[in-house]
Structures are given as structure tokens and as C-alpha cells.
Amino acid sequence: MSGSDINRAEKAPGGASDRPIGTVETPFAEQDWRRAYSLSSPEMRSQLSRVSENGDLHDHGLIADPCKKTVASSFATGSEPQAMEKVKDRDPVLYAQIKGKVKDPTYIGQTGDVTVSTHDRRGRTNGCVLIQNEPYWLSGDAAKSYLDLNKSLAPLHKEISVDRLNGAGRTLGQEEAIAWRNSGVHAKPGKSNHGYGRAIDIAYGPDGQPQPYDDKDVREALHANGYRQGDSHGPLKNDLHHWSYTGPGRATEGHPSAHVGPHRHHHRSK
């Protein structure tokens, strides 16, 4: 995996992006990042989301992502894959990274920021890179169900979106970066449902407002289209926006998760 996602961003098959690619120096030392990631998930995600929305990694009033540099998307503006396009048709390098676990990775028509691991000479993960505005993907059935549930919500003037940071399918490089960055609970790289294209993190609502999945109509649409909150044990503590795709047909909730230690899917903050 070493550098393969990064190479894909810098040299996209079928034409390079016209966006600038380069290093963005961050004003915080590594110990500051580690201290920052001791925050609770809602606190961390709130601050990371504000950074992502503002696009300013140098704002000392915010906690930025602890990656060493930022690179542009591998697709030029206006050329991003559309919903239900196959990854193998638009990005063979990315497809090669995930096809062993997901037979039909499919774009969902939404972009986000992803983190990818970097390695030292011995192959150990020693950092991460933030790639902005990368097209999100899921497995084929999960992608279709995600789009179908929003179609069902449209007449009600409601919708959900996937979290801006690492919110959909993930490569092993993304999972490694998440594990490196977090001192809290996280999945062992290669074990997350995100890596199988079967999980989404639903974007949080504004601070102090009800979360999208607390809405009765939204929750019904998620269940009707095969998504349940958390994993087979139910909602995950400090990770309530994590929803797993269980397959075609209606999903049922598992039992509420009582444990507070490491769980099977992923972590309390991205």
C-alpha cells in the first residue's frame, strides 16, 4: 500500500488533475495532534468539519487534521465520477487496491476528504496524507441502497449525506492512517466494514441540533434500505453516526452495545 493512494492522486489514470498539488505545512507539533485526538468524537468531528469547510489548515483557533501535506483530488473539477459509475471504469489503480475485498466498488456521487498512510523504510506506518475532494465509493448494493434511501426522502424534503472525512468505503491505506492518527478506539486495519464498502458515517447535524438519523422518517428510510445503526450488536458508543449495510431488504437493529472498549468496526473519531 505504501504511497499507492498518493500516487493515484498525483497521476490519475486517464488524465491528470489541473488542481495544484503540494505540501501544506501545519503549525502544530505531533504531540499537539496526539493531545487533540484525546477529545471526544463529537468535539473532534465538530472541529475537523469546521476546518474542512473553511479550507484553512493554518487557523490556530481550530484543530486541523494531523497529516503532513494536502494533495488535490485525482479528478479535475467537473470530471468527478457520477453516482453508480464503477470504480474499475474510472480509476484502475484504486480498483486494484480494493477489488480483493469488494467485487463491485461503485461511486455514490459525493466527494469527501480521505487520509492515507505513509510508511518508513521498514514499511511501518509513520504518518498520513490528506487528499481533498476524493469521490466516495461503496459496494454496489450498498451504493444503490444509499441512493435509493435519499430518493425516498426527497418527497419529504429530507436527505442524508456522508461525513466529510473518511465517511464511506476505505482502502487499507486509509484504515492504516486512521489507526496511526487515533489514540482512542479504532478498528484493526483491514477489519473495518468501511473496507468492505458496507458502512457509512452519516454527517452530523449542526451543534446542538438533532442528528439526521434521529428523525423518524430518515431512520425508517435507512432501515427500509438495509442500513442499521452500528454493527450486529447495535449502536456503537461514541460512534452513533456509523451505519452498516446488511444486504438487500429491510435491516433490523441489533442489541445496544454495552461495551466501551475496542469494537469490530472502527473508532470514535476519524
Task: Specify the pTM.
Answer: 0.75
Residue 172 phi/psi, 5-degree rounding, is -60, -35
- Burial class of residue 102 (count of CB atoms within 10 Å of its CB; 0-12, 13-18, 19+): buried
pLDDT at 12 over 70: no
pLDDT at 269 over 70: no
Per-residue pLDDT at 7: 59
Q: Are strands 199-201 and 242-245 parallel, antiparallel or unpaired?
A: antiparallel
> How long, in residues, is the chain?
270
- 89 CB contacts (<8 Å, ≥6 apart)? none
Contact assessment for residue 138 and residue 85, using Cβ atoms and an 8 Å cutoff: no
Helix (H, G, I), strand (E, B) or coil at 132: strand
Q: DSSP for 39-73, please give it.
A: S-HHHHHHHHHHHHHHT-TT-TTS-----S-EE--
Grid cell digits, residue 1:
500500500
Grid cell digits, residue 194:
468501511
The angle subtended at Cα 115 by Cα 194 and Cα 259, nearest 5°, is 45
pLDDT at 217 over 80: yes
Q: What percent of the chain has pLDDT over 70?
A: 67
Domains and CATH numbers, the chain: 4-245 (3.30.1380.10)
Instruction: Give residue-wise pLDDT tens across range 117-161.
Output: 998 889 888 888 889 899 999 999 999 999 999 999 999 999 999
d(CA 47, CA 59): 11
